Chains A and B, each alone.
Chain A
């Protein structure tokens, strides 16, 4: 290492030192502490007491934990395809010039800026059984009132709709990537007689696939950590049908002060996220096209 190299190393580390310190204090330490707590009985009021893997073995016996996990997975399985399709679909519809395009784009994007607390409150009003707009609109086409938030078969669907309303960020990301698709490829496809659907399937989708993958992973991570919307709209009810994973962690840690048990749950959540990310990566690996540059 030359003197210049050493000097640069020193300078580089100096500039990144805020992150290094923050990483150690606010990330690395909490990760190890969380791992340790997950092996402890810990109420935060007293020092943690080591109990080995008991928290983890208890989790597998805990029917509420299983309920929270399956609820979250079912919810994600409903919301993920819907949100991905709506976002990509609207972006494709918006991509080419059309009257009112700017207005439509603003309309689709604005809901994603609304604070989640406000989203949850206004959707619980929209989905109100007696006075809500959704049931009113359904009644215009002769659908009897649906007990959106009070029945176990609809409660999870009610948590999906607010997130679909907020896909505007994804739409903007898709629009930017659609812009990058070289125009001559469409012209070539058109000369070959490819219509809209085949153009989309053989030109658009492969070229924006890295962005689809990015949105897919981000959506999975966000959906599995949903907290505010069910917490405000139903508090986990009815019959725990909207008790989702992070709410159970929150309740366990901060209401029942079982921090060790909650830490174990948080680690399982991390593993589930990792696992699903890996599955998504593996499932899409062959279809993702990275351009040469």
Chain B
């Protein structure tokens, strides 16, 4: 990434190089600590359910396979279910009540399980076993595609609304001189200090008055009226554009709208992309507002759907929960890798000039 200019630090003594080694070890320790939760999530998401509660845990998903004997025939490399699975053939012979039963089928197959007395099982070993079907299960259970569609639609509207309104407002606060402008801008900044809980109840009752609770409208409509943080970000950027560029256009009789649209916006595309990415992620991850305003399960966003799924399956189906969490997180992580530089620039801008 280019914005991190590197400079050569020449170690000028032995203690400097000891410091370098110490620094690297510390970074390595924290790097691993920050990475482990991700690895653990993905690892759990690919395990069979019975393996998720195995101690000590294994990082690579594995299954134990057995030799089994059913009615005199040997099955090698069988996977075992200790509780009756849904997909099974009920035994034709009646096992005596004192015989413990397990259910087996050839490892990696999709065929129905068959009953076998536990004493006919013989441990054969452990094989690596990635359960990609956990993801299929999670996608159906959430339901993932419906919520992805809802979330994407909301993201598109919110990003569009934020870009359009915040850019217009930022232009008004930076490229036009008018009385009271900078005082009013202080008010914009002040609104960032208002916690959402303070205004959420009146907003709820306002939208309720218009019959909009249970629709997406309360979530995207406000984005069309500017967002203080993004106005601030874009204003900083617009102010950095030299006046000569717009003065010439103004002398030629260009309207402010055309200056905004044909000169300032194209020059600011990098800042606008940063705003779009940030707003997208904010909307994708947002929880409290959808939690309050959406009532119908059909309309849920992914974050809300994930919470709903967790509230029903929490504490048991860890493999599905981890697969679902991975799926909800993945688009944001991919976006990061595609637009890494913009991310870092954008966040760096946040902390500057305060």
A-side residues, CB < 8 A to B, are: 1, 5, 8-9, 11-16, 18-19, 21-23, 25-27, 29-31, 33-34, 37, 44, 86, 90, 93-94, 96-100, 102-104, 106-111, 113-118, 121-126, 130-131, 133, 136, 139, 165, 169, 172-177, 179, 183, 190, 195-196, 210-211, 213-215, 221, 224-225, 227-228, 232, 246, 249-250, 253-254, 259, 262-263, 266-267, 269-270, 273-274, 277
Of residues 254 through 303 on chain B, the ones whose CB sits less than 8 Å from some CB of chain A are: 256, 260, 281, 284-285, 287-288, 292, 302-303
A232 touches B195 (CB 8 A): no
Q: Are A90 and B199 in touch, CB under 8 angstroms?
A: no
**Which residues on the A side are within 8 Å of B159 (C-beta)?**
none
Q: Are A19 and B325 also in contact (CB < 8 A) when A33-B202, A227-B288 are?
A: no
Please tell me which stretch of B51-59, B68-76, B99-107, B126-134 contacts chain A, meaning at least 4 of its Cβ atoms lie within 8 angstroms of it: B51-59
Q: Which residues of B contact A (CB under 8 A)?
A: 1, 3-9, 12, 15, 19-20, 23-24, 26-27, 30-31, 34-38, 40-41, 44, 52-57, 165, 168-169, 171-173, 176-181, 184, 187-188, 191, 193-206, 208, 222, 224-226, 231, 256, 260, 281, 284-285, 287-288, 292, 302-304, 306-307, 310, 314, 318, 321-322, 325, 328-329, 332-333, 336, 340, 343-344, 347-348, 350-352, 354
In the complex, the answer to whether A113 meets B333 with C-beta atoms within 8 Å is: yes
When C-beta atoms are compared, the residue in chain A nearest to B179 turns out to be A9
The smallest C-beta distance from A106 to any residue of chain B, in angstroms, reads 8
B199 touches A31 (CB 8 A): yes
Residues of B within 8 A of A117 (CB): 285, 287, 303-304, 306-307, 310, 328
State whether B35 touches A126 (Cβ < 8 A): no
Most interface-central of B5, B178, B191, B287 (chain A CB within 10 A): B178
**A277 nearest in chain B by CB position:** B193
Min Cβ gap B293→A in Å is 11
Nearest-CB residue, chain A, relative to B302? A115
Instruction: Tell which of B55, B184, B195 touches A136, judged by Cβ atoms closer than 8 Å.
Output: B55
Residues in chain B near residue A100, CB distance under 8 A: 27, 31
Contact assessment for B202 and A29 in the assembled complex, using a CB-CB cutoff below 8 Å: yes
Q: Is the Cβ of A26 less than 8 Å from the Cβ of B41?
A: no
> Which residues of chain B come closer than 8 Å to A277, judged between CB atoms?
193
Partner of A165, one of B37, B187, B224, B284: B37
A134–B292 alpha-carbon span in the complex (Å)? 33
In the bound assembly, the distance between CA atoms of A248 and B194 in angstroms comes to 18
Contact status of A15 and B171, CB under 8 A, knowing A21-B225, A121-B310:
yes
Q: How far, in whole Å, are A274 and B225 apart by their CA atoms in the complex? A: 26
Q: Of B54, B318, B328, which is within 8 A of A125 by CB?
A: B318
Q: Which residues of B contact A211 (CB under 8 A)?
A: 351-352, 354
Cβ-defined contact, B307 with A33, below 8 A: no
Question: Considering the chains assembled together, what is the distance between the CA atoms of A44 and B42 in angstroms?
Answer: 44
- In contact, B177 and A8 (Cβ under 8 angstroms): yes
- Minimal Cβ-Cβ distance residue in B for A252: B201
Q: Point out the residues of chain A lying under 8 angstroms from B165, CB to CB.
A: 18-19, 22
Given contacts A13-B172, A27-B199, contact A104 B40 (CB under 8 A): no
Q: Which residues of B contact A30 (CB under 8 A)?
A: 198-199, 201-203, 206
Q: What are 5 of the A-B contact pairs (CB < 8 Å)?
A: A18-B225, A23-B225, A34-B201, A177-B352, A195-B15
A-B contact count (CB 8 A): 288
Min C-beta distance of A104 to chain B, whole Å? 5
A34 partner, pick from B35, B173, B180, B198, beta carbons under 8 A: B198
The answer to whether B37 touches A107, judged by C-beta atoms less than 8 angstroms apart, is: no
Given contacts A12-B176, A21-B225, A113-B281, contact A267 B325 (CB under 8 A): no
In the complex the two chains form, what is the Cα distance from A269 to B196 in whole Å? 11
How far in angstroms is the closest Cβ of chain A from B300? Answer: 11
Known A-B contacts: A26-B199, A115-B303, A221-B195. Give 19 more (CB < 8 A): A12-B172, A15-B171, A23-B191, A31-B199, A93-B23, A97-B7, A102-B1, A104-B31, A107-B35, A109-B336, A115-B302, A121-B310, A131-B57, A176-B352, A179-B3, A196-B19, A249-B197, A263-B202, A266-B198
Shortest Cβ distance from residue A31 to the other chain B in the assembled complex, whole angstroms: 6
CB distance from B200 to the nearest CB of A (A): 8
